[in-house]
Amino acid sequence: GIQVEQSPPDLILQEGANSTLRCNFSDSVNNLQWFHQNPWGQLINLFYIPSGTKQNGRLSATTVATERYSLLYISSSQTTDSGVYFCAAKRAGANNLFFGTGTRLTVIP
């Protein structure tokens, strides 16, 4: 299957700071998604972004498919941004969406 690596594994930020999370994948993908898992375990879909750039409020994401990576930007972080951020990728023609091991973000007031 496709390998999905995320960095950094852990990140601690002061409230108001900006951050960039990275996702590298080992093969060409036609499906790339970013999720946020809150401390209660709920997984929320942030972006469906197999290529290009999208923005949603303080969050934005960019996927450079030809170079096999995706970035998630969080600006002006808030304590509610805390949790684990996962990226997940799927090859064209495959059915399995593979998740990375996540980046655990802690935003302190």
Q: What does the block give as tokens for 105? A: 């973000």
* Contact by Cβ (8 Å): 48, 104: no
CA-nearest of 18, 16, 17, 19 to 7 is 19
Kindly list the residues in this chain that would bind other proteins in the complex (CB under 8 A): 4, 30-31, 33, 35, 41-45, 48, 86, 88, 90, 94-102
Give me the least distance between CB of 41 and other proteins, in Å please: 6
| Of 41 and 57, CB closest to other proteins | 41
- Distance separating the N- and C-terminal Cα atoms of the chain: 40
| Of 71 and 97, CB closest to other proteins | 97
Instruction: Specify the DSSP class assigned to residue 36.
Output: E
| Of 4 and 107, CB closest to other proteins | 4
Give me the least distance between CB of 16 and other proteins, in Å please: 28
